[in-house]
Amino acid sequence: MLNTIHLFTFLMVAELGTYSAAAERLHLTQPAISQQIRLLEKQLGGVRLFRRVAQRMVLTHAGEELLPAAREIVALAERTETALLALRGQITGRVTLACPPTTGEHVLPSLLMAFQRSYPAVHLQLDVATTDQIVAAIKAERVQIGWVDEPVRQRGWECIAVAREPLVFCVPPQHPWLADPLVTVGMLREVPLILPPPGSAWRRAIDEGLRRAGLAASDLHIRLECASASAVLAAVRTGMGLGWVPLSCQPAHASIGSLTPGGLTLEQEWYIIGSKAAALGRAVHDCRAFLGSSATHSLLRMAGLNPLV
């Protein structure tokens, strides 16, 4: 009889591509991962499930055949465990969430801590990815809940508007503008800027705000484009340019200064997305409902966000 632990390990290696990554995710050693895969291959008559290509483990034909069945068996085992424990009044299960490498990294941990106080038996996992990657991961059933920076409409999915967050204009700590109360939006034409890449919701929020203030992208001197708030802040510290980051990403110490040119206020919105399918289990649905509920208002405000739910 197939061992569900071995099958779960097989799924982790298939998803992450290396034994070492699977070991880190499962808090095991790499030899333990290798041993579980060997035992699973032995149970299946000695077939090879993976082959090494460069530095990655790629599914063989036998591995490809096993993949959908392994997902189904592991999901059934998790649903059964959840249902039986629910009879005792205890909600359990595994919930995998994903967020972009900006606000979600700073805000979600405190929200998940609050959730786990009420659901201590639920195992949580938080991944970091772009919104497009998160959507693809939810479709592939690798992630159940996404925290994203734009609304995503899919048949059978839920999309909850969670919060609106100010964007902060950051400058080096000794920048002369910090002592000038008359900095105008038009003065942005005179300085190098560091912006997120075109097409991102973060960049659209900036572009739309500047457009309302009478500035087009062609009016600006864009020195660097990058999708990481940490990288934007690092570049600002070096004097490479000035730029906006979400308020929750702004460092609390004095290594960065901030101001509001001409009173220009920019904001972006955050959403919770995921499938409504009942088969995901109660833990997933309860977690998503908690993140999108009024119970999170005080935590969101502490992070500088304005709740929308």
* 259 three-state secondary structure: strand
With b meaning 16 or more CB within 10 Å and e meaning fewer, what string describes 122-136?
bebebbebebeebbe
64 occurs within a structural domain: yes
Question: How confident is the model at residue 57, as a pLDDT?
Answer: 92
Q: Cα 288 to the chain's mean position, in Å? A: 14
**Containing structural domain, residue 69:** 1-90
pTM for this one?
A: 0.70
The yes-or-no verdict on residue 279 having pLDDT over 90 is no
Closest CA to 227 of 290, 163, 295, 133: 133
The yes-or-no verdict on residue 309 having pLDDT over 80 is no
Which one of 90, 123, 150 terminates a domain? 90
DSSP secondary structure string, 272-308?
EEEE--GGG-HHHHHHHHHHTSGGGHHHHHHTT-EE-
232 occurs within a structural domain: yes
Question: How confident is the model at residue 30, as a pLDDT?
Answer: 87
Give me 10's structure tokens.
Answer: 């097989």
71 occurs within a structural domain: yes
Domain of 207, CATH number, reads 3.40.190.10
Question: How confident is the model at residue 191, as a pLDDT?
Answer: 94
Question: How confident is the model at residue 94, as a pLDDT?
Answer: 85
Domain of 83, CATH number, reads 1.10.10.10
CA angle 169, 132, 244 (to 5 degrees): 5
Q: For 153-192, what is each residue's pLDDT tens digit?
A: 899 999 999 999 999 999 998 899 998 888 999 999 999 9
How far are the Cα atoms of 79, 82, 85, 144 from residue 91, in angstroms, in the given order?
11, 6, 6, 17
194 occurs within a structural domain: yes
